[in-house]
Amino acid sequence: MASGLCGFESRPRHPEEWSALLVAGDSGKQVIQAGPEHRTDWRPRQMKIVCWNMAHSRKAWDAMVQMDDVDVALLQEASRVPDDLRHRVDVDHRLWDGRHSDWMVYPSVVARLSDRVSTSFITTQLIGDPYSHDFYTSEWGTLGAAVVNSDDGSEPLTVVSMAAGGDNFTHESGSPSRREAIGSVHRLISDLSRLVGRRSRVIAAGDWSINRGWSSHPTAVWNEREALHFQTAFDRMRALGFRHLMPEGRRGYRDDVVSFKPIGMSPAEAWGQLDYVFATENIADRVSVRALNEPDKWGPSDHCRLVIDID
């Protein structure tokens, strides 16, 4: 399977054009494909997307390719595609080669799994020239993105796989043993904002490593702080034009949809949600999400799979 790579032109462009996506054409040149502003009648073909934190597992790749009718996968903590499965998975292998830390040897990636769609992977690099039209990220491996085109010629969809890291507190904070993901989540959102404009149609999903009202040091003060942090992240996504899509599935703590099981727990004992799906408002009404979080459907990871259907 082959696919071209996509990025942004280097010429200066009016801010209203920034969200226009560039897709490699037959001539090898980059061309702009973007829909009219505020269109509400846009319909992609039916598409199935899976979001999954694979937890570095080889068995997760086996389970992924065995799923029926999946077009695209948004994967986090993904190990390299096994050699015997490479003919079934189209992915930007450079994401594993460009890592900048041991933790990011397992990056967030977009994978194409069917011939019903084509993908143009958006090349990512670390923050550089602020005036560049290239797509850069604050932390290597936390975001993977691609433009998806369906075989019926409908307008392209941008998909983003995202995973928050964990930031250790400094010694000056007085809490050096604490680690939180909220700082990484906000960096993810800032990075994601460069893919979102008035013409964009985006689905972004992945492991944020935050849970509403939960703290690793449960006290009244910390729980209040965690809840506020959680809300600020969702407020920022809403300000960018995203809608949070709550999955259907088994409910757990504070009525969240279960998507994660801590070490030592079985899928039946899992109680928390760390994985979230967002769609821009111009397509959100046509997107549904379900969590495969029943014990017999969980799979070989500490996270369950989220199935995202576009009607």
Segment 74-108, tens digit of pLDDT:
999 999 999 999 999 999 988 887 555 555 578 99
| CATH fold for domain 43-310 | Deoxyribonuclease I; Chain A (3.60.10)
Looking at residue 221, its pLDDT comes to 58
273: burial class by Cβ within 10 Å (0-12, 13-18, 19+)? buried
Give the integer Cα–Cα distance in Å for 303 and 51.
Answer: 10
Q: Collapse the DSSP code of 97 into the 3-class scheme (helix H, G, I; strand E, B; otherwise coil) and give the result.
A: helix
Looking at residue 125, its pLDDT comes to 75
Supply the angle between the helices 182-192 and 220-239 in degrees, to the nearest 10.
Answer: 0
Nearest to 7 by CA among 146, 101, 141: 146
pTM above 0.85, yes or no: no
| Residue 206 in tokens | 């992945």
Domain spans of the chain? Answer: 43-310
Contact 281, 241 (CB under 8 A): yes
Ranges of the chain with pLDDT below 70? 1-45, 98-104, 128-131, 174-179, 212-223
**Cα radius of gyration rounded to whole Å, the chain:** 19
